[in-house]
A and B are shown apart, each in its own frame.
Chain A
Amino acid sequence: GNSVTQMEGPVTLSEEAFLTINCTYTATGYPSLFWYVQYPGEGLQLLLKATKADDKGSNKGFEATYRKETTSFHLEKGSVQVSDSAVYFCALSDQVGGYQKVTFGTGTKLQVIP
């Protein structure tokens, strides 16, 4: 079956540091890839996505590129802010019958300190 592996957290960075959160996946077919973010006390919300190989998703300074050859979708940001502190989930979706099934990674907690 499909699976998503992302780096263990927590990740602690100083403000304005460079962020990378690694994500690799295993899937049959051609899944879509996502990064979701969860702030304390809230549900998950979409951060960015890519639906085919070599696509780059970007939002709020975050970027990730769909690399089929390495089955990866690493999240990067050039300069993190305290407000980026949250849990980040890598996910893939695949069409299963009449709906899309989303498989999530375990999440990586990011803490940014001033």
Chain B
Amino acid sequence: ETGVTQTPRHLVMGMTNKKSLKCEQHLGHNAMYWYKQSAKKPLELMFVYSLEERVENNSVPSRFSPECPNSSHLFLHLHTLQPEDSALYLCASSQVFLGETQYFGPGTRLLVL
């Protein structure tokens, strides 16, 4: 595997379910990001981990819980979501330095019923 991978690619869940999204980067980067992409809205930065430490939590509801066990893996744990949480969730990685390119995974398309 190369680049940034995300699993699952598609997920349908009820509001009472608990699920997790997984992201893995094979680029040797030291920062990882979760973004939410909704129709007709800019990408929303949700969480940032730099050197495995969470450095940004952009006022995200507590029903989203990130985990970064090492520099290559990032998880987003989901529980009691709302229908408005349906979106494409993108993971990205980069080096921490200014001007470095962020590399994105293909995303997980989430539908909350």
- In the complex, which range does the number of interface residues on chain B fall in? 20 to 34
Complex Cα spacing A49 to B43, Å: 18
Q: Is there contact, CB below 8 Å, between A93 and B104?
A: no
Known: A43-B106, A99-B48. A93 touches B43 (CB 8 A): no
Known contacts: A43-B4, A89-B43, A97-B55. The answer to whether A102 contacts B102 by CB under 8 A is yes
Secondary structure type dominating chain A contacts = strand
Chain B residues, CB < 8 A from A106: 40-42
Interchain CB contact under 8 A, A34 and B96: no
Judge if B74 is at the interface, Cβ distance under 8 Å. no
Q: In this assembly, does A98 line the interface, its C-beta being within 8 Å of a C-beta of chain B?
A: yes
Q: Which residues between 68 and 87 of chain B lie within 8 Å of chain A, taking CB atoms?
A: none
Any chain A CB within 8 A of the CB of B7? no
In the complex, whether A44 has a CB less than 8 A from a CB of chain B is yes
A36 CA / B104 CA spacing, docked (Å): 10
B100's partner among A100, A101, A103 (CB-CB below 8 A) is: A100
Q: Which residues in chain A, 61-85, are within 8 Å of chain B measured between CB atoms? A: none
The count of chain A contact residues (Cβ–Cβ below 8 Å) is: 28
Residues of chain B within 8 A of A89, CB atoms compared: 43
Taking CB atoms, residues of chain B closer than 8 Å to A99 are 31, 48, 50, 55-56, 96
A14 to B100, CA, bound (A): 34
Q: Separation in Å of the A68 CB from the closest CB of chain B?
A: 15
Task: Specify which chain A residues have a CB less than 8 angstroms from the CB of B96 in the assembled complex.
Answer: 98-100
Q: How far is the CA of A16 from the CA of B46 in the complex (A)?
A: 39
- The answer to whether B45 has its CB under 8 Å from any CB of chain A is yes
Known: A93-B99, A100-B96. 14 other contacts (CB 8 A): A42-B106, A43-B92, A43-B107, A44-B90, A44-B102, A46-B102, A51-B99, A93-B98, A93-B102, A99-B48, A100-B94, A100-B99, A106-B40, A107-B42
Q: List 16 A-B contacts (CB under 8 A).
A: A43-B90, A44-B43, A44-B92, A46-B101, A49-B101, A51-B98, A95-B97, A97-B55, A98-B50, A98-B51, A98-B53, A98-B96, A99-B31, A99-B56, A101-B45, A102-B45
